[in-house]
């Protein structure tokens, strides 16, 4: 199921070695964990069992990049090993280049943090789980573009995602300015959180038109966009079908220590066409909630 979901999203499966060099493994070892050494390795290239899928996935991405393939979206499902936790099943993802397949118009864009976030959410949704992200510092990832993946009722950390550090990019003969995004999820931990089988169902396209409204608010720059999105969803009526962040701005016109966030809200009812008055009441309630919860100022 997981492989079908990821392949359907445009990723291709990689298969890498379980044994690896100690130096290649260490940047990806989580704090408090230790690698499993091979007692009698054939060579230093096979000195330890992999503590993470990311070194192999990143090397596979680099292999494609060095041979002229600028765009690569890869995943691997396999086993990882640490001294304290033993064997664990995980999925690792690596992404470099375009966010989507090339288009004749040349209107594509490079993949970013949010594209990888979407891939991680896709994995979680295939297991019937919702996730949250929390900023984290990790030696292998760029600060400010790294996050721990949380899931379950106790919001337990089940993975990591972000932009690969430039030093690790350059070490694999990829131009240092290239942005490589990676993620790894603990499938064993996530499977333990699944309480019921995931059922997939189809639904017909909506019969009634939607109404779209944009909103821009200025909030503290330390406030995660996901928290703001959660406040919007909590204050909105059931007719709020989608919320999407489409702009984040700091600079002229925005006070120091604050950031402007812009969201696109889509309202739609399954049984009728909404009126402008209904949507305006919803927008008023949303703005009031943002002001009360986050000291937001509408732009």
pLDDT tens-digit series, residues 259-298: 999 999 999 998 999 999 999 999 999 999 999 999 999 9
- Round the average pLDDT of the chain to a whole number and report it: 89
pLDDT tens-digit series, residues 182-213: 999 999 999 988 877 666 667 788 889 999 99
Report residue 67's pLDDT band, with 50, 70 and 90 as the boundaries: confident
Phi (first) and psi of residue 257, to 5 degrees: 85, 5
Domain extent listing, the chain: 2-193, 211-298
The tally of CA atoms less than 13 A away on the side-chain side of residue 83 is 11
* Sign of the alpha-carbon dihedral angle for 29, 96, 77, 201: positive
Burial class (CB in 10 A: 0-12, 13-18, 19+), 26: middle
pLDDT for position 294: 93
Q: Which pTM was predicted?
A: 0.73
The domain defined by 211-298 folds into: Alpha-Beta Plaits (3.30.70)
| Whether pLDDT at 103 is above 70 | no
Q: Tell me whether domains 2-193 and 211-298 share a fold.
A: no
The answer to whether 82 and 34 have CB atoms below 8 angstroms apart is: yes
Report residue 44's pLDDT band, with 50, 70 and 90 as the boundaries: confident
CATH code of the domain occupying 2-193: 3.30.930.10
């Amino acid at each position: 199921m997981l492989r079908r979901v990821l392949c359907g999203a445009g990723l291709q499966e990689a298969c890498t070695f379980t044994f690896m060099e100690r130096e290649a493994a260490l940047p990806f070892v989580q704090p408090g964990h230790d690698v499993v050494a091979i007692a009698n390795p054939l060579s230093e290239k096979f000195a330890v069992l992999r503590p993470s899928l990311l070194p192999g996935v990143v090397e596979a991405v680099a292999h494609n990049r060095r041979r002229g393939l600028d765009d690569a979206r890869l995943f691997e499902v396999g086993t990882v090993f640490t001294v304290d936790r033993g064997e664990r099943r995980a999925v690792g993802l690596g992404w470099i280049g375009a966010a989507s397949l090339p288009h004749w118009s040349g209107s594509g864009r490079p993949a970013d943090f949010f594209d990888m976030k979407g891939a991680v959410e896709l994995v979680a949704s295939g297991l019937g789980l919702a996730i949250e992200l929390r900023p984290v510092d990790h030696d292998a990832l760029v600060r400010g573009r790294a996050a721990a993946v949380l899931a379950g009722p106790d919001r337990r950390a089940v993975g990591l995602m972000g932009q690969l550090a430039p030093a690790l990019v350059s070490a694999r003969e990829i131009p240092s300015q290239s942005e490589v995004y990676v993620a790894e999820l603990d499938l064993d931990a996530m499977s333990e959180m699944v309480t019921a089988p995931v059922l997939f169902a189809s639904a017909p396209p909506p019969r009634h038109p939607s109404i779209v409204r944009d909103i821009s608010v200025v909030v503290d720059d330390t406030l995660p966009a996901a928290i703001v999105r959660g406040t919007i969803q909590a204050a909105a009526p059931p007719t709020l079908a989608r919320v999407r962040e489409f702009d984040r701005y700091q600079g002229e016109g925005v006070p120091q220590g604050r950031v402007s966030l812009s969201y696109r809200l889509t309202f739609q009812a399954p049984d009728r066409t909404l009126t402008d008055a209904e949507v305006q009441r919803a927008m008023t309630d949303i703005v009031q909630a943002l002001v009360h919860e986050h000291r937001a100022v509408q732009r």
